[in-house]
Amino acid sequence: MFSGVYTALITPFKKGKVDFDALGKLIESQYKAGVNGIVPCGTTGESPTLSHEEHEQIIEFCVKQAKGKMKILAGTGSNSTAEAIRFTQFAKKVGCDGALMVAPYYNKPTQKGLYLHFKKVADLVNIPIVLYNIMGRASVNIEPTTIAKLCKDCKNIIGVKEASGSLSQMSAIKALVPNIELLSGDDALTLHVLSIGGIGVISVLSNLLPLETLSLIRAFEKGNIKEAKKIHYKFLPLVNALFMETNPIPVKTAAAMLGICSSEIRLPMCEMEESNKLKLKKVLKDFKLLK
């Protein structure tokens, strides 16, 4: 259901407010490039610093702009189960195709707590759910056995965005749940994830280069592994540059350099260090994205 390239949308800001004009243009550029879908209000969209009202406004705006053109997989996760239910119900109400639910952060729930959290949302909201496993930000790992139990007990939990960085863990998940939709949560690992049965990527890079991100997936799907490897290595320096500081600082900085939106970011995220900004600019020039 969620195969291909799903762009983890940045949230453009202007003078402290969501810049819906810039967001609309970004969505349109993604549609014209042919991406399979968009993911608003995720990590890259700075969801932790969005108000509840902004979170819902952005999701609804994305549905109005993109429904019928590409799929909308809305970020609806929270470290509060009640809040996750609210956002997921809203995503369902306005017409999203699915919900991306991050592991509850800061609380550090047990595996039983994780199971009960996701199950409660899945039981209450009949919408396709993709789990989001990112221990580096959540401080807890959704273990493969927990994912398997959730998929068995909740038919609307259909996939997982894996940003653990562990191909061993991803392989274990696929071994336990062969039909799960495995999506790469790291642009640098997309090719690797495809090779073990993944079906796509939730991408940061595609905010800037949607066509090029798509080209890797399409080459792999056609069995042209040599071409897919070539694309992987070609864009790896840019991918690495986009993560030289905490996401989404570099990608928003790059977006500003390319005229997509301002680089405005909300505290506690802050402006990119000048030395890193110069490195990023050089990489963009190397790729002929900047003169």
- Catalytic residues, by residue number, are 132, 161
Find, among 183, 199, 287, 288, the residue nearest to 240 by Cα: 287
User: Nearest 5°: phi and psi at 38?
Assistant: -125, 150
- Which 3 state secondary structure label does DSSP give 291? coil
Cα–Cα distance, 14 to 22 (Å, whole number):
9
277/267 Cα distance (integer angstroms): 18
Task: Tell me the C-alpha distance between 100 and 47, whole Å.
Answer: 12
Distance of CA 230 to the CA centre of its chain: 24
Q: What angle do CA 183, 276, 7 make, to 5 degrees?
A: 25
Instruction: Please give the full DSSP string across 107-146, using - where no structure is assigned.
Output: S---HHHHHHHHHHHHHH--S-EEEEE-HHHHS----HHH
Q: Is 74 helix (H, G, I), strand (E, B) or coil?
A: strand
Say which residue the tokens 């690797």 belong to: 192
Q: d(Cα 275, Cα 78) in Å, to the nearest integer?
A: 34
Helix (H), strand (E) at residue 281: helix 274-286
Alpha-carbon distances, residue 126 vs 3, 26, 175 (angstroms): 20, 29, 26
